[in-house]
Every structure is written in structure tokens, then in C-alpha cells.
Amino acid sequence: MTRPFVLVQLSDLHVGAVWASPDPVAGLEAAVRAVLDMPFRPDAVLVSGDLSDHGTDSEYEQVVDLLAPLAAPVYVVPGNHDDRRALHRHFGVPGAAGEPVQYSVDLGAMRLVVLDTTRPGEDPGALDEERLAWLDAELSSGPALPTVVAMHHPPVETGIPTCDESGLPPADRRGLAEVVLRHEHVRRLVAGHVHRAVYGQLAGRPVSTAPSTYVQLRLHFHTRDVALAEREPAGFAVHALLDGEVVSHVQPFA
């Protein structure tokens, strides 16, 4: 078997946060060590939002420094805690500062398309007609490589009330499904935001979220209270392209 193409997904770093007992900087340092301890190196790294907790330059500078040992290209997705202008300054994402952070990159064997689901200043996400039209055009115009579409808010219901109330509206998820249905080369949709690994389907394509490197959300279906699971291990996702299909793993770390 040929060596798979490997995309590592880190999520919800929240550098600068103090609302849970783990230290987010220590968590990201441990995540980086765990990636480097794997018996292979990632070909690319995706960070699926909430890199910073307050959107400050100093927090993003820390993130850049902490990710540097990975020595791999890093592609960032904006989260509801992030500042679009700061992401432009520190990560050189395409587009004009303040506009949705949306772009695609051909990684050789795989194509990565980043979709901005954020509404600045609000926790819930959105996918308006303009953003969906951009995605449709981007998927149509690029090479038909096996494609991963990355966003912050998951495009499926999780059953966890606090996650779903701060997620994507049902109409926006339906609009995204209509776009994805038109593009067979979309192999997987990946997201963050919910601070745990969740799996589902949209338009017949697998959907997965990555755990947080900071703190996890407790699994519950009957309360709207935010319940953190500080004893649950942090983790990250590993997406491997095998014979044209994307296989995803969750790697916990201490």
C-alpha cells in the first residue's frame, strides 16, 4: 500500500481562555507533542476554529509559535471566538480583511476547501446564499480531487441542545446539502465548535468533528446547561487519504 496523504485536524485551541481548569497553552503544547510522537508526519495541518479565545494579536502570536514545531503547512478556519482581520495578519489567509475567510488549496492528492460559517460577534453560525454560491463555484471550478470541506460549525445536528442552538440553522444545513449533492468529489465535511468527536452525514457524505485541544463538552441530550467534561482526554483528528477515500481517526492525548 502506498503511503497515505495525512491531514491532521486540531480544533478549539482557545489560547487565552480561563473558563476551564486546563491550561489551553499546555493543551496545545501537548497536542503538538502527540502529533510529533506519531510514527509519521502530517502532510498538512488544519485548525478548525477558535484558535484564540479573545481574538487578540498576542494570542495569535502564541498560536503561531506553538504550531511551528509541526513543520507542516497550517490552514486555519475561523471560529466564533476568532477575529477575521487578525487571521489575515497572522496566517496570511486569502481575501480582504474583515470578509469571510474562505479559500481552497490543492494539496497534491487532496483538495481542502475552507468555508466560513461565522457571524462576527455571535456564537451561532450561518451560511447565507453568497457563501453557498462561493462554495458551489469553488467546487465546480477546481480539480475533481478527493475534497475535504472544512468549517467551524458542524453541518449536522448533534442532539446536544447547547451545541445545536449555537450551530447552523436547519435551512442553512439544507442549503449546504444541496451544494454538496452536486459535487461527487466531496469526500468528507469536517468541523469543530462542539468540543468533542461527533459523526453524522450530510447529503450522503460523512461529517465529523474533532475534539478540542483545550477542554471537552460532556455528552448530554436533555439540558441546555453547558457541562464541561474536564476529565475527558483532549484529542485531535487524523484524516488519511487511502485509494481516493478519506478515512478519519481520533487520537486522544494526555
Beta strands in the chain (DSSP E): 5-10, 44-47, 74-76, 103-106, 111-114, 147-150, 186-191, 199-202, 205-209, 216-217, 228-229, 234-242, 245-253
* Per-residue model confidence (pLDDT) at position 97: 78
Given a cut of 90, is residue 231 above it in pLDDT?
A: no
Say how far apart CA 69 and CA 103 lie, in whole Å.
24
pLDDT average, residue stretch 49-54: 98
pTM: 0.96
Residues 189-221 pLDDT 10s? 999 999 999 999 999 999 999 999 999 999 988
Q: How far is CA 191 from CA 26, 147, 229, in A?
A: 22, 14, 20
Residues 179-190 pLDDT 10s? 999 999 999 999
Q: In this structure, are residues 143 and 107 in contact, taking their beta carbons and an 8 Å threshold?
A: no
Grid coordinates representing 13?
485551541
pLDDT average, residue stretch 29-58: 97
pLDDT average, residue stretch 51-66: 98
Tally of residues, the chain: 254
pLDDT averaged over every residue in the chain: 95
Q: Exposed, middle or buried: residue 158 (CB in 10 Å: 0-12, 13-18, 19+)?
A: buried
Which of the 8 DSSP states describes residue 68? G
Determine the 3-state secondary structure of 211 from DSSP. coil
